[in-house]
Amino acid sequence: MTADREIVVAAGAPPAIGPYSHAVRADGLLFCSGQIPLDPATGEIVGETAAEQARRCLENLAAVCEAAGTSLARALRLTIYMTDLAEFASVNEIYGSFFGEEPPARVTVGVAALPKGAYVEIDAIVAAGSASTAGSAL
């Protein structure tokens, strides 16, 4: 870890399933790794539908944000990866329930497959303040 780059480990999110961090804070921004719909306690996929899985992805991202001393409400941009864009409307409904009148910028991308057979993965860039003002995340 350097003064301008801080790794964030979130106890409330599922452990990483590869060589990556939950998030990295730098220059007042929090760069969150993609979250698939894993239950933090069991590491198993949660949700039978893309919408249910999107909810878990967003809950996991919220836990990462909380560990970094910020919140998903401060998100600047999210990317949603989906294996079936025909489910866009149902995922969009869940997504909308997490953000109020001023939602972040967003991209939705159709993909062939996601880790562990998930239907949805979501990553985020969030306003976080500096490491010294956002609280300890380690």
Instruction: Give the integer Cα–Cα distance in Å for 40 and 42.
Output: 6
Lowest-pLDDT range, 52-56, 97-101, 126-130?
126-130
pLDDT band at 129 (very low <50, low <70, confident <90, very high): confident
Q: Which of 61, 31, 48, 40 is nearest to 121 (CA)?
A: 61
pLDDT for residue 133? 44
Residue bearing the bigger pLDDT, 129 or 89: 89
pTM: 0.91
Instruction: Give the integer Cα–Cα distance in Å for 47 and 73.
Output: 23
pLDDT for residue 100? 83
Does residue 137 register a pLDDT over 60? no
Q: Evaluate whether 75 touches 104 at the Cβ level (below 8 Å).
A: yes
Residue 109's identity, in one-letter code, is: V
Counting residues of the chain whose pLDDT is more than 90, the rounded percentage is 88
pLDDT for residue 85? 98
Q: Evaluate whether 125 touches 34 at the Cβ level (below 8 Å).
A: no
Domains defined along the chain, listed by start = 6-114 (3.30.1330.40)
